[in-house]
Structure 1
């Protein structure tokens, strides 16, 4: 984040590139990528996942079940990984987050290698996402003391509630990009503690509006916006939980 913290709340950061399909997927790409990065990401594993998608049809939307296959290349300590699939490249980093100055070159170097191997046509979607977890001690907690972005409950309703989740999409760059802001409660591993996830995901959603050559600038701009959004969403009392470095 823009400010430095002794105990930053980031539990995962990822940068994902989806590419415009220009030809049938070449199944040799994961192997070629692995040969270039295996000294840093030697572990290999395959991941299969299912998702629900919607496709426009006459009269409405048609639901589709989508199967996603990815090959993951991991560091020995499993703190970082590179994922590749059909027209897809994702770079993830888990705790401890190494600062943006170290994560950014990791993203851009793997993007450069992927481009040299696959020669993609352009970007379909780009996303830079930061997932933050806050553990707030106390039996009774006022969210407004810790967050500037939180659920609003009308005064005529009880002001005590359990699990919650809110999501807002904020447009940027004349609608080309969006900041997806999500705050929700999650199960805490500690007694008398409220555990919250603040998920900030900045995405380019209009295909080919950002060229391959503009990727570095886009990623840098996305990081600045996510940083600013984080600081706006939390209060000083929340920052005290992370021990801001002066």
Structure 2
């Protein structure tokens, strides 16, 4: 199957590249602050990121709970609020919100930001690599059958009423090439207007083994994962959907 390269009305609501890492113990929040200092001209807003930890204790009939939070990094927002960077003690995430332009622009900015993060934190290992695209397909009403728009969808028994007011489906599909895993989430979500139905098509492709630290090899794998994601997207939609987003 030949994956299409670009849709003028791409249904992407958010695209993400996530790289989880193990950092040397000496890397602290002040190093992550330096990452932000390097990009604050283009990413003018910064927020602190925290992780919440809870603990429950029981002694006889007495039950108690405690909670604490600790800072793990920073989130930076581009000046137009469409690009978001997370720099954390356990990883790096770059995302682009709609409107999505193209893979090359998104990838190149992620590479630039990762290079800054990597040069300051010196990751000891990369433990997980993910490429995720969250799409919203807006389909005009009336819709007689989902299979006119989707090739992967929940099939309702003919012995049940065929109308759906909502659904959520998750599939976990191993990918032999690159030994990645594809998590496909699909659901009905609120539409932009009353005369549409909207379907979430969330494609999360990740790798958790044998990830190189070398930047050239790392981004070669990211490129291949993006192609896998494209193939998965094309495998899920029909020509009728392609006409809506072409």
With the shorter chain as reference, the TM-score category is 0.7 to 0.9
1:9 has 2:39 as partner:
no
- Deviation of the 1:179 alpha carbon: 1.1
Contact 1:25 1:87 in 2 (8 A): no
3-state SS in 1 of match to 2:29:
coil
Measure, in 2, the Cα distance between the counterparts of 1:40 and 1:2: 31
Pairwise CA RMSD: 2.3
* Equivalent position SS for 1:28: helix
Instruction: Kindly provide the CA deviation profile for residues 64-110 of structure 1, in whole angstroms up to 9, marking residues without a partner as x.
Output: x9967441111111111211112211111111212111111111111
Stretch deviating more after TM superposition (139-148 or 124-133): 139-148
Alpha-carbon distance in 2 for matches of 1:21, 1:91: 18
Aligned 8 A contact 1:138 1:193 in 2: yes
Deviations 1:126-166 (A, max 9, x none): 11100111111114441100000100112222222221111
Offset of 1:41 from its aligned partner? 1.4
Q: With the length of structure 2 as denominator, give the TM-score of the two structures.
A: 0.85
Q: Determine the C-alpha separation between the residues in 1 that align with 2:10 and 2:21.
A: 32
Equivalent of residue 166 in structure 2, options 163, 166, 170:
163
Counterpart in 1 of 2:34?
32
In structure 1, the gaps of 5 or more residues are 53-64
- How far apart are the structure 1 equivalents of 2:107 and 2:12? 15
| Structure 2 Cα separation of the partners of residues 172 and 51 of structure 1 | 34
| The one of 73, 80, 83 aligned to 1:77 | 80
Q: TM-score, normalised by structure 1?
A: 0.85
CA contact (8 A) 1:80 1:92 kept: yes
Q: Secondary structure of the residue that 2:42 maps to in structure 1?
A: coil
Aligned to 1:212: 213
1: distance between equivalents of 2:38 and 2:182? 33
Rounded to whole Å, the distance in 1 between the matches of 2:52 and 2:76 is 20
* Aligned position for 1:223: 226
State the 1:47 CA deviation. 3.9
Alignment of 1:61-76 (within 5 A): 69-76=72-79
Go from structure 1 to structure 2 and tell me whether the alpha carbon gap of 1:85 and 1:167 turns closer, same or farther (over 3 Å shift).
same
Q: Which consecutive unaligned segments of at least 5 residues does structure 2 have? A: 55-66
| Distance apart, 1:4 and its partner CA | 2.5
> Matched residues in 1 for 2:95 and 2:53: separation?
20
2:99 corresponds to 1:96: yes
Partners of 2:23 and 2:124 within 8 A in 1:
yes
Q: CA deviation at 1:25?
A: 5.0
Which of 1 and 2 has greater Rg? 2
